[in-house]
């Protein structure tokens, strides 16, 4: 009876903060997955404004809190120390500190996987970066500061987690109580769709002698002989492949997937002469890795150079990349010569870092920045 009264008081406080909106079965299931039932002890502390109110009420009225509800108080050295410990994370901004404390106590920080001052500060910083990035990128989709900011905001860099890693998906109920899209929809899904989802150029690309187009069924006929040849594959990542494996490789490469791997076949006079590859990667998808092959009977005519130049143009002009790299086995003299012909710089010579076909070998990384490429064009 005593507990019922406690629950009723907590429910009233909750409804005063959140309004009365229906929870669907899916919402209930989501909340049960990510949150736990509040204990009577925690409910008592909520009513004294010493611990956050519930994050949700299930449709049967059960108050639900984050699994770590109360854990911050232990870190802080006890519930009584929690407020001062919390606001100390905003040492120069008492107004923000108290506003964040109030929001924390309301239980409405449901966007965060882990509700803590550190994560709250991270979320605020990442959202500010995303907002700045969106403004820049709507003006110029290739703005390199915008690309860096959006990449860090959404996906993070090195030790900096992005919003994708720290935000929960939230529910239809949250859209009702907060009156709009969820935080994740606004700051992860939207920006990812608008700025981090590659859109392919119109195919084919044409150069003086070549046509570059996506892979398609039937390309295996031109490749089978080369891929069965030990010499041809000796400096590639994979070993020899039989006809069935080549056909399967072609089938996989013919699927554009998420657009991050742009695989192209080069044709001369209707005959397949080789292929080129651009993998979009790096913070804000601002870097690409380029790759190439020319079938043995077509080498020595400059086809790889011509195809790679078209791929570099596509990388910098269409995809707006700021840097393109090539990684190669250091024994691959022809590939290194090709990099040099393209004006790429050898940035790295890694000693014995690459295990390939039964031995350790050195590898090179070549790179070309957008401004270097532009200077070549003039
Ligand atoms: C790496 C690879 C693509 C290089 O092929 P390539 O034929 O040497 O390169 P190109 O098609 O650009 O041709 C350049 C050669 O053609 C000559 N050439 C003739 N006409 C030319 C033209 N119009 N423009 C440029 N070069 C021309 C160049 O002088 C050069 O010859 P050289 O090496 O004797 O000086 C090829 O060796 C290959 O497919 N190897 C196996 C797969 C592989 O290792 N891939 C790379 C993995 S990192």
Domain stops at, among 141, 161, 195? 195
Q: Both 189 and 244 in a single domain?
A: no
Pocket (CB within 6 angstroms of ligand 1): 232, 235-236, 291-294, 299-305, 328, 332, 334-335, 337-338
Q: How confident is the model at residue 378 (pLDDT cuts 50, 70, 90)?
A: confident
Q: Is residue 134 part of a domain?
A: yes
The CA-atom distances, in angstroms, between 313 and each of 171, 208, 306 are 43, 14, 11
Find the 266 Cα to ligand 1 centroid distance in Å.
Answer: 14
Find the 299 Cα to ligand 1 centroid distance in Å.
Answer: 5
Integer Cα distance of 37 and 186 in angstroms: 29
- Cβ contact 277:261 at 8 Å: yes
What pairs with residue 292 in β-bridges? 276
Q: Is residue 57 part of a domain?
A: yes
Q: How confident is the model at residue 3 (pLDDT cuts 50, 70, 90)?
A: low
Dump pLDDT digits (tens) for 130-139.
Answer: 999 999 999 9
Supply the residue whose CA is at minimum distance from atom 32 of ligand 1.
300
Mean pLDDT of 355-365: 95
Q: Both 180 and 33 in a single domain?
A: yes
Tell which one of 239, 275, 303, 334 to mutate to probe ligand 1, the residue whose CB is within 8 A of the most ligand atoms: 334
Find the helix or strand (DSSP H, E) in which 82 lies. Answer: helix 79-87
Dump pLDDT digits (tens) for 140-172.
Answer: 999 999 999 999 999 999 999 999 999 999 999
Tell which one of 300, 303, 333 to mutate to probe ligand 1, the residue whose CB is within 8 A of the most ligand atoms: 300
Q: How confident is the model at residue 360 (pLDDT cuts 50, 70, 90)?
A: very high
Dump pLDDT digits (tens) for 53-94.
Answer: 999 999 999 999 999 999 999 999 999 999 999 999 999 999
Q: Is residue 200 part of a domain?
A: no
| pLDDT at 1 > cutoff 50 | no
Structurally, the chain folds into a number of domains equal to 2
Q: Which domain, by its residues, includes 242?
A: 205-377
Looking up residue 292, the CATH number of its domain turns out to be: 3.40.630.30
Integer Cα distance of 147 and 139 in angstroms: 12
CA 142 vs. chain centroid, Å, equals 17
CA end-to-end span of the chain: 83
């Amino acid at each position: 009876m005593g507990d019922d009264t406690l629950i009723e008081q907590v429910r009233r406080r909750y409804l005063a903060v959140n309004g009365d909106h229906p929870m669907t079965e899916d919402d209930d299931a989501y909340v049960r997955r990510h949150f736990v039932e509040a204990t009577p002890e925690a409910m008592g502390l909520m009513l004294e404004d010493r611990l956050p109110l519930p994050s949700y009420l299930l449709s049967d009225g059960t108050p639900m809190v984050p699994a770590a509800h109360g854990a911050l108080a232990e870190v802080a050295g006890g519930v009584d120390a929690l407020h001062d410990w919390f606001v100390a994370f905003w040492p120069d901004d008492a107004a923000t500190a108290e506003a964040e404390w109030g929001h924390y106590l309301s239980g409405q920080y449901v966007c965060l996987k882990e509700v803590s001052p550190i994560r709250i500060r991270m979320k605020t910083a990442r959202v500010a970066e995303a907002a700045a990035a969106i403004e820049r990128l709507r003006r110029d989709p290739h703005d390199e500061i915008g690309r860096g900011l959006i990449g860090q905001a959404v996906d993070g860099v090195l030790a900096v987690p992005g919003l994708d890693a720290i935000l929960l998906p939230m529910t239809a109920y949250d859209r009702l109580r907060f009156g709009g899209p969820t935080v994740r929809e606004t700051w992860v899904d939207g920006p990812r769709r608008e700025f981090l989802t590659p859109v392919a150029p119109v195919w084919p690309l044409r150069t003086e002698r070549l046509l570059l187009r996506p892979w398609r069924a039937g390309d295996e006929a031109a490749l089978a002989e080369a891929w069965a040849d030990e010499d041809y594959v000796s400096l590639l990542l994979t070993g020899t492949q039989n006809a069935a494996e080549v056909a399967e490789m072609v089938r996989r490469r013919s699927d554009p997937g998420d657009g991050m791997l742009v695989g192209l076949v080069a044709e001369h006079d209707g005959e397949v002469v080789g292929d080129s590859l651009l993998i979009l990667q790096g913070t804000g998808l601002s870097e690409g890795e380029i790759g190439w092959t020319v079938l043995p009977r077509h080498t020595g005519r400059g086809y790889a150079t011509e195809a790679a130049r078209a791929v570099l143009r596509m990388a910098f002009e269409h995809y707006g990349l700021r840097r393109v790299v090539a990684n190669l086995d250091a024994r691959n003299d022809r590939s290194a010569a090709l990099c040099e012909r393209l004006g790429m710089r050898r940035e790295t010579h890694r000693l014995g870092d690459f295990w390939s076909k039964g031995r350790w070998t050195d590898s090179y990384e070549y790179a070309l920045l957008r401004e270097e490429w532009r200077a070549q064009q003039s």
